[in-house]
Amino acid sequence: MQMTALIQAINYLKEKAAEPGLLDTYKKLADLTKQASRNANGLYPEEVFREKESLKQLLLEGEPDGWGYASYELFDRINSNQLFGKSAAEWLDAAINPETKDMQAVSSELSKKAKLVSKFTENAGKMMQMLEQMVPSEILSGAAEDGSRSSLLIFFEGRLSVQNISDLERYSRLWDGILGTFSRLTGEENAALNMTSFNNGRVTLGVVAEDKTVTALMTGVTGMLSVLPVILRIRKSQVDLAHLPLINDLNNVLEDEIKILINNTADDTASKLTLGFMNENTDTEEMTAEMSKTLKQILSFIEKDGKIEFKPLKAEIETATTNKTLNESFFIARQLETISADLNEALANKSNQQGNNIAD
């Protein structure tokens, strides 16, 4: 766990919890939903939905913007009760809508959240005091943090957790190859890959790369990840179609569309990278083909639970947009894992049903 990431997450949440507007709006909405629960006709006053939108806006404004994965993941863990940010706004949307049946339960949950927000400032302050007393000041300042000289962090966890030395060697080879492609593109020195942490199968590799290579990587990752929201929509459509009694197999058609989308995006992004970052020794046709393959490897890595965080050593290299895109992509990847399981189940049920119909 990176100490600076933990401190950043705690301080940020402490600041958000102390904002009076957030706590007041939680309390007001809890009161309004309690009153609305007494309506015998099941119709809720418009004021409930207006106040819900006010709270939702405050929550979305409190979402960390442009954080790297390490800090954002800690924010997400500490915010497991969904009190702040985007996750709290999503809970609110699901809890309060015209179809809500039990507004009393919603009111109770909002009251609990208001109490937790109220307590958070005090608890966060105590956590910071404990850290200051127990952790050496040079670590708190970040001077001794592992990976502090890395311009890129690569996280292996979840389905990519390291179980043995063979896993570690395989993952290292993968990223040596990816980084080598970008170094050859820019003509800069090969990026150095070092292990910065290992804990219960979760491995973090730090990469020390030169500026042009880091910028090219950021451009390539952002371009390639643009396919994920589209893939998510297609997967959701596949699940819906799998439940319909259709004769033609549209699932295979949509699978082909996903492959075409990924290939075209990889080729287009690779072409832009080659033109934008090539050096005098670059064979453009060969590099574009190699880069297209590399970009698809990066996409596959993220789809399988891999994480990336950019943190270039030069402050003038802007990372907020790229890291935000990455964090959104990690969330989509988790959704895709769930939806893919739903799709496989729906297709299996459909196949069994067709088999039963033939038997009959």
pLDDT tens, 178-222?
999 999 999 998 888 888 888 788 888 989 888 899 999 999 999
Query: What is the number of H-type helices and E-type strands within the chain?
Result: 13, 4
What pTM did the predictor assign? 0.74
Residue of 180, 145, 139, 148 whose CA lies nearest to 297? 180
Q: Which residues contact 295 (CB under 8 A, 6 or more apart)?
A: 220, 223, 224, 265, 266, 269, 270
Q: Which residues contact 157 (CB under 8 A, 6 or more apart)?
A: 201, 202, 203, 305, 307
Q: What is the pLDDT of residue 360?
A: 53
What is the rounded distance in angstroms from the CA atom of residue 160 to the CA atom of residue 148? 23
Q: What is the pLDDT of residue 219?
A: 95
What is the rounded distance in angstroms from the CA atom of residue 294 to the CA atom of residue 223? 13
Q: What is the pLDDT of residue 142?
A: 45
DSSP annotation of 84: S
153 bridge partner residues: 206, 309
Q: What is the pLDDT of residue 120?
A: 81
Where do the domains of the chain lie?
A: 3-140, 152-359
Q: What is the pLDDT of residue 333?
A: 93
Distance of CA 266 to CAs 5, 263, 298, 338, 342, Å?
32, 5, 10, 25, 27
Q: What is the pLDDT of residue 183?
A: 93
Q: What is the pLDDT of residue 190?
A: 86
> Which one-letter amino acid corresponds to residue 268?
D
Parts of the chain with a pLDDT under 70: 1-4, 40-42, 125, 127-150, 247-248, 313, 315-316, 354-360
Q: What is the pLDDT of residue 90?
A: 92
What is the rounded distance in angstroms from the CA atom of residue 124 to the CA atom of residue 74? 14
DSSP annotation of 18: T
308 bridge partner residues: 154
Distance of CA 143 to CAs 4, 10, 136, 270, Å?
10, 19, 10, 37
Per-residue pLDDT tens digits for 55-89? 999 999 888 887 888 888 888 888 888 999 999 99
Q: What is the pLDDT of residue 131?
A: 56
For residue 24, the tally of other CB atoms under 10 A from its CB is 13
Transcribe 205-258 into DSSP letters.
Answer: EEEE--HHHHHHHHHHHHHHHTTHHHHHHHHHHHHHHHTS--SS-HHHHHHHHH
What is the rounded distance in angstroms from the CA atom of residue 210 to the CA atom of residue 312? 9
What is the rounded distance in angstroms from the CA atom of residue 48 to the CA atom of residue 97? 10
Query: What's the helix, strand, coil split of the chain in %, to 5?
Result: 70, 5, 25
